[in-house]
Amino acid sequence: MKMNNCLTPKHIAIILDGNRRWAKAQGLPSLEGHREAVKNANKIIDAVNERGIRYLTLYVFSSENWHRSIEEVTGLMALLEHYINAKSKGWLKKNIKIKFVGDLSRVSPKITKLIEKLTKKSENNSGMTLIIALSYGGREEIINAAKKIAAQCEEGICSVDEIDESFFKKFLYADVPDPDLLIRTGGNIRVSNFLLWQIAYTELYFTKKYWPDFGVKDLEEAILEFQERERRYGK
């Protein structure tokens, strides 16, 4: 079955789940699962970009993940730093725009500077937009948006009557279209506090494959299933 380019999702979001379980199944330390996850992420980023999909959001580290062991969090942050350094030039060369969403105040100053530098360098790129959800929580994003709107109302910048969906959306972390397709690997059938506002009408696709094993063919299968669904938006 061939993919219908007219029905290809404009925005795919992915929850990269199952890395630690993959490592355990291989008899390896958890960090090796995350290392394989990073390698696989790069393959999927390239595959999405090559298919002309305009937006890709990857859920790489949630706000809840800070509660993991210090050793694992430290290892993950070191891996993230290495990954940004290793891949940023390639992303820029491919005309990819990079955005990071989440509570970046919890990230180390060193990584924050890397993020700011990469975001600035890529801001005028016109290719695919890669959104990396780091230290991200959907409820937290909505609360932060509500606080910003409340502050503006108190200052007289806006009024309560102005607040509607389009107004509210401007205060979320990233001004990009809502995902058409959300993919979650690892077998869990839940959204885990990810893009709670944005996925109101997103098509959900769950697979038992752990993220390190989720290949380009699996991505194509998810897109094919998306193309076979009828999206009515409640109509």
Across the chain, which distance is largest between two alpha carbons, in Å?
Answer: 59
> Is 70 exceeded by the pLDDT of residue 3?
no
| 102 neighbors 71 (Cβ within 8 angstroms) | no
Q: How wide is the angle at C-alpha 174 spanned by C-alphas 132 and 235, nearest 5°?
A: 110
User: What are the pLDDT digits (tens) for 116-148?
Assistant: 999 999 999 999 999 999 999 999 999 999 999
**Residue 233: left (phi > 0), alpha (psi -120 to 50), or beta?**
left
Cβ neighbours, 10 Å, residue 195: 25
Selected catalytic residue, list 42, 46, 65, 193: 65
Selected catalytic residue, list 17, 40, 49, 180: 17
Q: Which two tokens stand for residue 67?
A: 């509660």
The answer to whether residue 65 is catalytic is yes
Distance CA 173, CA 48 (A): 22
Domains annotated for the chain, with CATH where assigned, are: 5-136+177-228 (3.40.1180.10)
User: What are the pLDDT digits (tens) for 44-86?
Assistant: 999 999 999 999 999 999 999 999 999 999 999 999 999 999 9
Of 72, 84, 71, the residue nearest 45 (C-alpha): 84
> Is 70 exceeded by the pLDDT of residue 26?
yes
